[in-house]
Structure 1
Amino acid sequence: MKSISGKTAIVGIGEVPTGHFPDRSFIKAAVDVCEMAITDAGIPKQDIDTVIPIGVVSNPLDNTNVICSWLVEELGLGKTAKSNFQVMSGGSSSANSLKVASALVAAGLSKAVLVVHCDRMGTGLDLSAAISMFSKASINQEYEMPYGFSQLALAGFLQQRYMYETGTTERQIASVVESLRKWAALNPNAMLRKPKTADEILQSKMISSPVRKKMMNILADGAAAFIVTSSEYARDLTDTPAYVLGIGSRCTSFTVTAQPHFDCWQPAVDGAYHMAGIGPGDIDVAEIYDAFPTFILISMELLGLCEKGKAGKFVEDGNTSPGGRLPVSTNGAMMAQGHTGAGGGMAILVEAARQIMGKAGERQVQNANIAIETASGGIGMDFHVGVLGKEGQ
């Protein structure tokens, strides 16, 4: 995919507030973010010829309907759209959609691609069903599930292993949540906007040792969209496109318990840096997929933003918070913006584009010329890295 570097760009983004909105319908939220992205891009609707709806978890009927071109009709694209198809790989759907959209545009098969995610994980899913699904997903049915192993148990094991290997303290992991809450306080679309200190995080109930209640994400309703087109057309549409400079991916295993080490994701990092022609020292802002705070620390070290075992101290010292040396997950990520199913990665990608476009309001990072963003699906089944920048080809 070397040939696409700098040849495609995100030109428009849309997002609605994340949280519990029982009166906000699925289709209204989905259409709203699409219209926001179209308006933001300044693109004529008829130039959007491909629509990619990311998978819906909370309602199978909504999922089937978006697969069957529901949004094409609602947006009035029936006379101009060439394709409507779904991309679904859980939290990494955003990264895979960006790859597909960029490849279609670079190959001349599409002029502009609209990618949209919408889900109602907070109010559209029965709580018992949600608990059952998230306790069993990506857990081996033959060798793990019969013995009570679950996603929460795995989160505890991962954090314990990371702390043992690196010497990272529980307070340093709590500091990740503190940093995310500080960013969320500046984000009008975030669910949890009240700041929390690391000490407050550590006082919360133990859920799956050493993971505490306030180290966990919360299921929420949310929606976001972005539009990808060629760099040439992007320059005609807007003065602030976010160029796609690099993409790296690695799919490893069904369950993270089968992985030899976190380093198995390193080729995704190396691939993205190589394609973009940059290194860790060039990064101005990092939008990192979380699920749990430990994943942010692991990712920071994989990305080369910190030496192994040093990420916790780096965060604890305030370097990733507003005003810090390296802003990380400036929307608050899933720990604060909310877990919207497959949309966790989508929100992170949209935030990366927002920072490059200079549209992040109070949380705008000054001189944000290059942003790196990550995504992962299942329980670490894959790892994706994207690089966005202000300069393209």
Structure 2
Amino acid sequence: MTDAFLVGAGQSGYGAFPEESYRSLFRTAFDATTESVPKGLMASEIDEAFVGTLGVGGRQLGLSGPAVTEHVGLDGVPCTRVENACAASGFAVRQAVQAVKSGMADVVLAGGFEVMSDMSSDATKYWLGVSGETEWERLSGTTFAGVYAQMASAHMERYDTTRKQLSRVAVKNHANGAKNPHAQLGFECSLDEAQSAPTVAEPLNLYHCCPTSDGAACALIVSEDVVDEYTDDPIRVAGVGAGSDSVGLFQRDSYVGVPASERAAEAAYDMAGLTPEDLDFAEVHDCFAIAELLAYEDLHFCEKGEAGALVESGATALDGDLPVNTSGGLKSKGHPIGATGAGQVVEAFKQLSGEAGERQVENPVRGLTHNVGGSGGAAVVHIFEKETAVSA
């Protein structure tokens, strides 16, 4: 089976852009992606495309993938839309890796987009809610924040996790996002501000919740047969893992973890032949502060119940032993649903290419991305490895 390599990645800014369309945002991301390829790449060299989107607002419910790829000049290139809620473009990247590893394609584009800022708050809540269990969660009035609030309450009760520890996630990620020119909420916040914000769904407050965003992101995955045509410093897709679970939180045996994330991580570590100790940074799915803490445990960065202490120790800060969400994460960078997973890969590419600016991790060799759909109905994990550093 052929190896797959990440040779380029780029994104639009994340935020509210009333003057932009989903097509124009995708073009921005696509252009940034092709420009990031060290030796260059033309649209005509792309064999296939996978595009993730939830389809918020009903703009182009059918054929939204071809709608954006045709717009950027990929005429005639096979394009598949991937929908897995907030994990849509993370799974699009996985599909691109599979296409390359199977030998069916040499150069594959994976990306995603979403426009969320042009709807009322009620409409936005509706579209976010469709990623939960429809009959017994969404239609009964449970919000997305409400579901994660239940998870937070359960974790706090079982492991004595505190609101202060939840707030430390926000402080850390805002500090990183303030260094990211693409971040929607690119400003720092104090611990006091993060603790005293208005309640959204007890025990989560405003600073514990990510924003809704417009944005797009893309990544280019190529085979070992052609990688030398695009870069002299290849980044190998060392491991990929995915998992699914019950869509409804109420259907699960436990609220203090995301089994799909744990399954995805174990598969990715196994494929890569690595452990969490081998990682130099990680981008994890922090739609709510509790989601980042759950990710620490599900991805085996720490033992169950120790996530609060881990963030409090500073280990996951930019200068810590394992920096997490150097981009600012969903909390600060933003969360355009269909673009989020690919956007995490953008950060991994920048870190491993030494192009992350003020938030650059020192000499990273390996990084992990973790993308979750809904409250854990789906999850996907990728591990990227700087090939030249490993071979040296």
- TM-score calculated relative to the size of structure 2: 0.92
Q: Which amino acid aligns with 2:73?
A: G
Tell me by how many angstroms 1:245 deviates.
0.5
* Distance (Å, rounded) in 2 between the aligned partners of 1:148 and 1:82: 42
Q: Which amino acid aligns with 2:80?
A: F
Q: Which amino acid aligns with 1:133?
A: W
User: Closer, same or farther in 2 for the Cα pair 1:91/1:132, shift >3 Å?
Assistant: closer
Would you say 1:92 and 2:87 are equivalent positions?
yes
Would you say 1:129 and 2:126 are equivalent positions?
no
* Residue from 278, 281, 292 that aligns with 1:282: 278
Taking only the aligned residue pairs, the percentage that are identical comes to: 27
> Counterparts in 2 of 1:236-385, with a 5 A limit?
236-261=229-254, 262=257, 264-265=259-260, 266-385=262-381
Would you say 1:13 and 2:9 are equivalent positions?
yes
* Distance (Å, rounded) in 1 between the aligned partners of 2:170 and 2:235: 28
* Distance (Å, rounded) in 1 between the aligned partners of 2:106 and 2:138: 46
Tell me by how many angstroms 1:156 deviates.
1.4
Would you say 1:173 and 2:166 are equivalent positions?
yes
Residues 136, 151 of structure 1: 8 Å contact kept: no
Would you say 1:108 and 2:103 are equivalent positions?
yes
- Tell me whether 18-27 or 231-240 shows the greater mean CA deviation: 231-240
Matching residue of 1:62: 60
* Distance (Å, rounded) in 1 between the aligned partners of 2:55 and 2:67: 16
User: Closer, same or farther in 2 for the Cα pair 1:126/1:58, shift >3 Å?
Assistant: farther
Matching residue of 2:34: 38
Matching residue of 1:49: 47
Matching residue of 2:145: 152
Matching residue of 2:209: 216
* Distance (Å, rounded) in 1 between the aligned partners of 2:230 and 2:14: 28
Residues 93, 111 of structure 2: 8 Å contact kept: no
* Distance (Å, rounded) in 1 between the aligned partners of 2:157 and 2:232: 48
Matching residue of 1:23: 19
* Distance (Å, rounded) in 2 between the aligned partners of 1:47 and 1:334: 32
1:229 counterpart SS class: strand
1:245-302 per-residue CA deviation (whole Å, 9 max, x = no partner) reads 1011111112122122326332222111110001111011011011111111111112
Tell me by how many angstroms 1:305 deviates.
1.2
1:20-39 per-residue CA deviation (whole Å, 9 max, x = no partner) reads 11112322221121122112
1:348-367 per-residue CA deviation (whole Å, 9 max, x = no partner) reads 22212221222211111112
- Tell me whether 178-187 or 16-25 shows the greater mean CA deviation: 16-25
Q: Which amino acid aligns with 1:282?
A: D
* Distance (Å, rounded) in 2 between the aligned partners of 1:351 and 1:86: 23
Residues 218, 346 of structure 2: 8 Å contact kept: yes
* Distance (Å, rounded) in 2 between the aligned partners of 1:243 and 1:206: 43
Tell me by how many angstroms 1:144 deviates.
4.1
Residues 249, 267 of structure 1: 8 Å contact kept: yes
* Distance (Å, rounded) in 1 between the aligned partners of 2:259 and 2:122: 34
Matching residue of 1:139: 133
1:342 counterpart SS class: helix
Matching residue of 2:187: 194
Q: Which amino acid aligns with 1:267?
A: R
2:20 counterpart SS class: coil
* Residue from 68, 74, 77 that aligns with 2:74: 77
Which ranges of structure 1 fall in alignment gaps of 5 or more residues?
Answer: none
1:76 counterpart SS class: coil
* Distance (Å, rounded) in 1 between the aligned partners of 2:338 and 2:69: 21
Tell me by how many angstroms 1:138 deviates.
1.0
- Tell me whether 108-117 or 188-197 shows the greater mean CA deviation: 108-117
Q: Which amino acid aligns with 1:192?
A: L
Which ranges of structure 2 fall in alignment gaps of 5 or more residues?
Answer: none
User: Closer, same or farther in 2 for the Cα pair 1:73/1:213, shift >3 Å?
Assistant: closer
Q: Which amino acid aligns with 2:132?
A: S
